[in-house]
Structure 1
């Protein structure tokens, strides 16, 4: 079909996309596009998308003639020039554009596809200078060898998607890429990358989808943990030996089946991760989240050592408000209210009865934010069993104790759990009979502490039905010690679940209920209950 026939079809159907790809168009702008396209003076066509892919267009000529196109293209937002031959010498840049008409037209573009165009060896600092509104840029498989450090500076406040895949000679990324704070989709696959900048994750915190597959990366920067909105991460076919501890904060990676892909990496420094690499995103993130949750001490996050907020706080893309309205639409169905919690487990890993185990992730806790603080634990409890006795509220109000609650949940409980792990390990040094008795004592000490949290959650109106784990039953007497260790592990996992879910509850309270009459009482109740809980566990 010729260009004229395509234009006739455009008029007939009143389309806003003109597809003239694969028509062997040569040189610059086709003369048919410099004249009014409408065959009816009373009909005004507005072309939003123009597809000129897989022709023989010469860029330099096309860019300068772009301003001479008819008024129907004055609203053009999407331009596809992929699959056209290179015509830029050693590098492609837009500084050759001189006419005001062409500058104005390039300034209106939102999406530009130059995939497979062989732009030359270099992108200069002026390559994108007339693309002030660009949101999506595709320059994959263009034989690039170098990108000037300031090449992406003109796009730093607008660019949302960048596809650089297939430029295997690139080796590194320019510093100006880290200034693109709006970037949500970044594809750097097959770019020959050996390493990423230390502040990569700290600068690109808006990223939802990151493709680093088929490179030569041996490690990721610690700052990856700052990419709290990350929903998809492809690391397949690199040289990675272990993942940084901080990646456990990227909990969105475990919420969908693509999630995280680490297949094809040696992972020689982490056998547990190596074991899970082909078992899906939920099992990989199950381990990574537990690892950072149970970690004692500061977590490296790139540039400085700091302990960040719990992964449960502001870890998911907060409301996905932008994603529901604009690109990329594939994230619009991700649940707005879902908040990841530590997955449950019914068995321990093969390496140790007490190591984090894998299973599917249970649903998020359901909050009744309007529940009455004076609600009984259940209808059968009498007043003596109701922990919401008025005497509990004689302790200081929320302002002095809120920080102390955070310390208990983020630091103290982790320390106690570490001590319990160590106590279980020490039982290996005694006879089997004494070891069994010691393990039973540890388990029996954990149980009443858990009951404190059960009562607290009931009074706060937090549903915990899905927190219940089925304890494994010993198949024979020889495995009894191993099974008791598994039960203790399940008890500790439940404590971790309670701790992280309570952090989420407090975050909701601070955000939505801080002005309610019961807010002070709730905070005081939480503080008192946590003190009782930790005092019971400290007996181990």
Structure 2
């Protein structure tokens, strides 16, 4: 494909020429400890940079000069910090930072006005910058498996967001501003500490089709409007909610019950009956 430097006969000059021609640099699994200079010298011709599964510890400041880059993939490295000048990459559409050691994202992230997909799962994120709400064109956000205790109120500004994954964090509260996400189709918050959702989330998020809340201490009282949902996954630590036709089946775990039972919830008024589990 003319985008990889795995051939030992290639000189740095010939690789750079090829990269400028294709606009693509893909150096996966190359055991790189730093970004090669010839990659940085591709300059404005670079559209895609994929350095997945290397041993990079940092992103060089020079990456901020690759202003025409549209796709930056740095998954599976040892990166701890993101330079502030990443905000110069105004044409960036996809940013993938999964499986690194990142704890903080710079506020300049919000300057990526054309960003459509941000994935930073399996890191050590303590918080998201307030500027995440400035990412008006972002449709997919994956911050699963970090150390987040909350989602910023500003996330309500991501008015193009269709999919939000924040599984495996320490989140206790979901900000009320999430109700502003009228394009949101899928919300996945498994494995957190959530006890309740914003009261109007199912009413205001009119595009919402899927909510997944496995392994959260949340009660069924929060689901009095589930008739508008197409698929809802709910768990109180024992089993998963199952959707059969237009009927929701979810586990009910009661301290006073001798055995676990399933409860079927039907219709707009959520009349219910218990079904014993054999």
Query: What TM-score results when the alignment is normalised by the length of structure 1?
Result: 0.41
Q: How does 1:342-361 map to 2 (within 5 A)?
A: 349=273
Q: 1:110 to 1:82 in 2, by over 3 A?
A: same
Question: Pick from 70, 79, 92: which aligns with 1:77?
Answer: 70
Deviates more, 1:281-290 or 1:110-119: 281-290
Offset of residue 240 of structure 1: 2.0
Is the counterpart of residue 31 in structure 1 residue 8 in structure 2?
no
Is the counterpart of residue 3 in structure 1 residue 5 in structure 2?
yes
Is the counterpart of residue 217 in structure 1 residue 214 in structure 2?
no
Partner in structure 1 of residue 28 of structure 2: 21
Give the Cα separation in 2 of the matches to 1:205 and 1:26: 42
Higher strand fraction (1 or 2):
2
Q: How does 1:105-116 map to 2 (within 5 A)?
A: 106-116=89-99
Partner in structure 2 of residue 66 of structure 1: 63
Give the Cα separation in 1 of the matches to 2:133 and 2:199: 25
Q: Over aligned residue pairs, what C-alpha RMSD do you find?
A: 3.6
Question: Pick from 123, 127, 133: which aligns with 2:105?
Answer: 123
Q: How does 1:272-291 map to 2 (within 5 A)?
A: 277-278=241-242, 280=244, 282-284=246-248, 290-291=267-268
Superposed CA offset, 1:381-431 (max 9, x none): xxxxxxxxxxxxxxxxxxxxxxxxxxxxxxxxxxxxxxxxxxxxxxxxxxx
Higher helix fraction (1 or 2):
1
Q: How does 1:87-486 map to 2 (within 5 A)?
A: 87-88=80-81, 92=82, 94=84, 97=85, 104=88, 106-120=89-103, 122-124=104-106, 126-148=107-129, 150-155=130-135, 157-167=136-146, 169-200=147-178, 202-226=179-203, 227-251=205-229, 253=230, 259-265=231-237, 277-278=241-242, 280=244, 282-284=246-248, 290-292=267-269, 349=273
Report the 3-state secondary structure (helix = DSSP H, G, I; strand = E; otherwise coil) of the residue aligned with 1:159: coil
Give the Cα separation in 1 of the matches to 2:265 and 2:111: 43
Offset of residue 11 of structure 1: 5.2
Report the 3-state secondary structure (helix = DSSP H, G, I; strand = E; otherwise coil) of the residue aligned with 1:221: coil
Matched-pair contact (CA < 8 Å) for 2:227–2:268: no
Q: 1:281 to 1:179 in 2, by over 3 A?
A: farther
Partner in structure 2 of residue 256 of structure 1: none
Give the Cα separation in 2 of the matches to 1:204 and 1:292: 26
Query: What TM-score results when the alignment is normalised by the length of structure 2?
Result: 0.75
Offset of residue 66 of structure 1: 1.8
Report the 3-state secondary structure (helix = DSSP H, G, I; strand = E; otherwise coil) of the residue aligned with 2:202: helix
Matched-pair contact (CA < 8 Å) for 2:4–2:26: no
Unaligned runs of 5+ in 1: 38-44, 254-258, 267-273, 295-347, 352-540
Matched-pair contact (CA < 8 Å) for 2:241–2:249: no
Give the Cα separation in 2 of the matches to 1:197 and 1:282: 29
Superposed CA offset, 1:345-388 (max 9, x none): xxx9558xxxxxxxxxxxxxxxxxxxxxxxxxxxxxxxxxxxxx
Give the Cα separation in 2 of the matches to 1:32 and 1:85: 21
Give the Cα separation in 2 of the matches to 1:48 and 1:113: 14
Q: 1:84 to 1:52 in 2, by over 3 A?
A: same
Give the Cα separation in 2 of the matches to 1:26 and 1:111: 23
Larger radius of gyration: 1
- How many pairs align? 252
Superposed CA offset, 1:273-329 (max 9, x none): x9x9346474218965614488xxxxxxxxxxxxxxxxxxxxxxxxxxxxxxxxxxx
Unaligned runs of 5+ in 2: 251-263
Matched-pair contact (CA < 8 Å) for 1:225–1:246: no
Q: 1:22 to 1:350 in 2, by over 3 A?
A: closer
Structure 1 residue runs of 4 or more that deviate by more than 6 Å after TM superposition: none
Q: 1:136 to 1:177 in 2, by over 3 A?
A: same
